[in-house]
């Protein structure tokens, strides 16, 4: 395949050198197109040597070849890393004032952008509007990581490591199935791993027709199961009242209704799982009494039933305790999910941090619930908090995008 690597003018431009090498080593033809500003951070000879191709910056070089049209038409993919705020603004408005922007405007190949900039620039409404516009053109984004930025500060905006960009790009493009190539190992970072994933929302029966339930659709858990399978894992999905169709290429599917059934299914599978992801919304309480026949109204309103609740087991907490007692046998990685809202006392992330400590799992994926984000929605924003001090990741986009970003990040961190 022929891959155009566009390089914006930011300090992270040096990472593009490694990206060129990864694609080149996997047998792809690579063309580097830096912006003028990128050449202040990385030298043209470096890009020419690593790509084994000449490097041009503007449309007035190699004029007889109509270089931007040639590069655009011959490209199988255009990947821009780092995509700076200025470059994205130019691409969002359809500018064509250098070779890279002219190539992007001309190409029919998939375009993937890996933004990198300071947190303030990333969060500015202008940048976020440009990101939304670029997504509306069908361009795919690799979310910026959280971590050390240029200088002493840290936050969201860091360019993910080249291996992560490479793996995400291959997954987006559906490439990387070449046997024995570098692409095979990098695009299947979960190969050989057994994942146990719960999804959906439990229902706690009150009588034969009624239950206490929650709004979870199971979309995020099912997306995790699908993406984990695509990334090479063997996945056992435990689904509770799913509103979406589970993937067809799972290793195993177990359907349950209640928290107690989910707990049993999880513990039956625990010794055969390397990683557990509790994406299900498990009811904390169930009715204390279940009646075999439908509860009826009577003529006496004073006799209306009062439902007493008892606590359900905390499955996630029990998995963590099980691992503490069986250090050899328990799953190596335990991931919880939490849908949080903020209030006057704390932000959603502060509540998430406290929950991570309480539950004792390795990661907590905190999902901020709002009318458009979270339950039932197709898009999601999730912040992955690690138990140990380390980078946390903000993943945004469709639930598949979020699943891919979370799984790749966890795979990279746990396999280091």
Decide: is 336 part of the binding site for ligand CTP (CB under 6 A): yes
CB of 249 to ligand CTP, least distance (A): 24
Please state whether beta strands 194-200 and 234-240 pair in parallel, antiparallel, or not at all (unpaired): parallel
Q: How far, in Å, CA of 78 to CA of 89, rounded? A: 17
Selected from 251, 260, 314, 391, the binder of ligand CTP by CB under 6 A is 314
242 sits near ligand CTP (criterion: CB under 6 A): no
Residue 270, classed as helix, strand or coil, is helix
In angstroms, give the least distance from the CB of 305 to ligand CTP: 24
What b/e sequence results for 242-259 when a residue is b if at least 16 CB atoms lie within 10 Å of its CB, and e otherwise?
bebebbeebeeebebbbb
Q: Name which of 66 and 377 has its Cβ closer to ligand CTP.
A: 377
315 counts as binding ligand CTP under rule CB under 6 A: yes
Site size for ligand CTP, by CB under 6 A? 12
Q: Does 260 bind ligand CTP (CB under 6 A)?
A: no
Q: Is 330 in the site for ligand CTP (CB under 6 A)?
A: no
130 noted as active-site residue: no
Question: Minimum Å distance from CB 355 to ligand CTP?
Answer: 6
Residue 130 in the binding site for ligand CTP (CB under 6 A): no
Structure tokens at 331: 């799953």
Is 312 a binding residue for ligand CTP by CB under 6 A? The answer is yes
Tell me the closest approach of the beta carbon of residue 349 to ligand CTP, in angstroms. Answer: 13
Q: What DSSP assignment string belongs to 216-254? A: --SHHHHHHHHHHHHTT-EEEEEEES-SSPPPSS-SEEE
In the bound state with ligand CTP, the residue whose beta carbon lies nearer, of 284 and 391, is 284
- Kindly tell me which residue out of 4, 78, 117, 338 binds ligand CTP, with binding defined by CB under 6 A: 338
- Cross-strand bridge partners of residue 240: 200, 256
Contacts of 31 (CB under 8 A, 6+ apart): 2, 3, 4, 5, 51, 53, 71, 75
Sign (positive or negative) of CA dihedral 372, 375, 376, 377? positive
**How many CB atoms sit inside 10 A of residue 234's CB?**
18
The answer to the question of residue 391 lying near ligand CTP (CB under 6 A) is: no
Tell me which stretch binds ligand CTP (CB under 6 A): 173-181, 222-230, 309-317, 393-401: 309-317
- Of 164 and 362, nearer to ligand CTP (C-beta) is 362
With respect to ligand CTP, which residue has the nearer C-beta, 116 or 282?
282
Considering the rule CB under 6 A, would residue 237 count as an interface residue with ligand CTP? no
- Kindly provide the residue ranges of all beta strands, DSSP E only, lying in 99-191, ordered along the sequence: 111-115, 140-141, 145-148, 154-158
Task: CB nearer to ligand CTP: give 95 or 387.
Answer: 387
* Residue 280 binding ligand CTP, by CB under 6 A: yes
Q: Does 199 sit near ligand CTP (CB under 6 A)?
A: no
Active-site option among 67, 130, 214, 380: 214
Helix (H, G, I), strand (E, B) or coil at 211: strand
Between CA 40 and CA 248 the distance in angstroms is 49
CB-wise, 156 or 280, nearer to ligand CTP? 280
Q: How far apart are CA 26 and CA 399, in angstroms?
A: 29
Q: With contacts defined by CB under 6 A, name the span among 101-109, 120-128, 288-296, 334-342 that binds ligand CTP.
A: 334-342
Please say which residue, 72 or 280, places its beta carbon nearer to ligand CTP.
Answer: 280
Beta bridge mates, 287: 309
What are the DSSP E strand ranges found in 60-110? 77-83
Alpha-carbon gap, residue 279 to 283, rounded angstroms: 13
Q: Which stretch binds ligand CTP (CB under 6 A): 18-26, 29-37, 136-144, 333-341?
A: 333-341
Q: Which amino acids are annotated catalytic? A: 214
* Binding interface with ligand CTP (CB under 6 A): 259, 278, 280, 282, 284, 312, 314-316, 336-338
């Amino acid at each position: 395949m022929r891959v155009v690597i566009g390089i914006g003018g930011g300090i992270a431009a040096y990472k593009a050198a490694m990206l060129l090498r990864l694609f080149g080593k996997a047998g792809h033809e690579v063309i580097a197109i830096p912006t003028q500003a990128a050449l202040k951070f990385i030298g043209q000879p470096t890009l020419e040597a690593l790509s084994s191709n000449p490097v041009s910056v503007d449309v007035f070089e190699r004029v007889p070849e109509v270089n931007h049209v040639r590069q655009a038409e011959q490209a199988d993919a255009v990947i821009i890393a780092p995509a700076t705020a200025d470059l994205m603004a130019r691409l969002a408005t359809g500018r064509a004032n250098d070779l890279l922007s002219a190539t992007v405007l001309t190409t029919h190949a998939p375009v993937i952008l890996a933004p990198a900039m300071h947190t303030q620039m990333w969060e500015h409404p202008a940048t976020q509007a440009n990101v939304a516009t670029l997504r509306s053109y069908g361009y795919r984004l690799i979310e910026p990581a959280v971590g050390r930025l240029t200088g002493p500060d840290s936050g969201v905006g860091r360019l993910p490591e080249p291996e992560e960009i490479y793996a995400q790009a291959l997954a987006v493009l559906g490439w990387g199935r070449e046997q024995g190539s570098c692409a095979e190992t990098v695009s299947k970072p979960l190969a050989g791993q057994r994942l146990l994933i719960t999804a959906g929302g439990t229902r706690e029966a009150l009588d034969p027709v009624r239950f206490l339930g929650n709004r979870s659709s199971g979309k995020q858990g099912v997306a995790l199961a699908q993406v984990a399978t695509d990334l090479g894992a063997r996945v056992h999905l435990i689904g509770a009242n799913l509103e979406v169709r589970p993937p067809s290429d799972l290793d195993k599917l177990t359907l349950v209704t209640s928290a107690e059934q989910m707990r049993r299914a999880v513990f039956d599978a625990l010794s055969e799982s390397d990683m557990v992801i509790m994406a299900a919304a498990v009811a904390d309480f169930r009715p204390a009494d279940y009646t075999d026949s439908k509860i009826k109204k009577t003529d006496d309103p004073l006799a209306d039933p009062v439902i007493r609740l008892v606590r359900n087991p905390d499955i996630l907490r029990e998995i963590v305790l099980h691992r503490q007692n069986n250090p050899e046998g328990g799953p190596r990685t335990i991931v919880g999910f939490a849908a949080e809202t903020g209030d006057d006392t704390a932000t959603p992330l502060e509540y998430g941090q406290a929950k991570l400590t309480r539950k004792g799992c390795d990661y907590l994926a905190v999902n901020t619930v709002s009318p458009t984000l979270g339950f039932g929605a197709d898009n999601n924003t999730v912040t992955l908090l690690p138990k140990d001090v380390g980078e946390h990741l903000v993943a945004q986009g469709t639930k598949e995008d979020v699943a891919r970003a979370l799984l790749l990040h966890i795979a990279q961190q746990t396999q280091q």
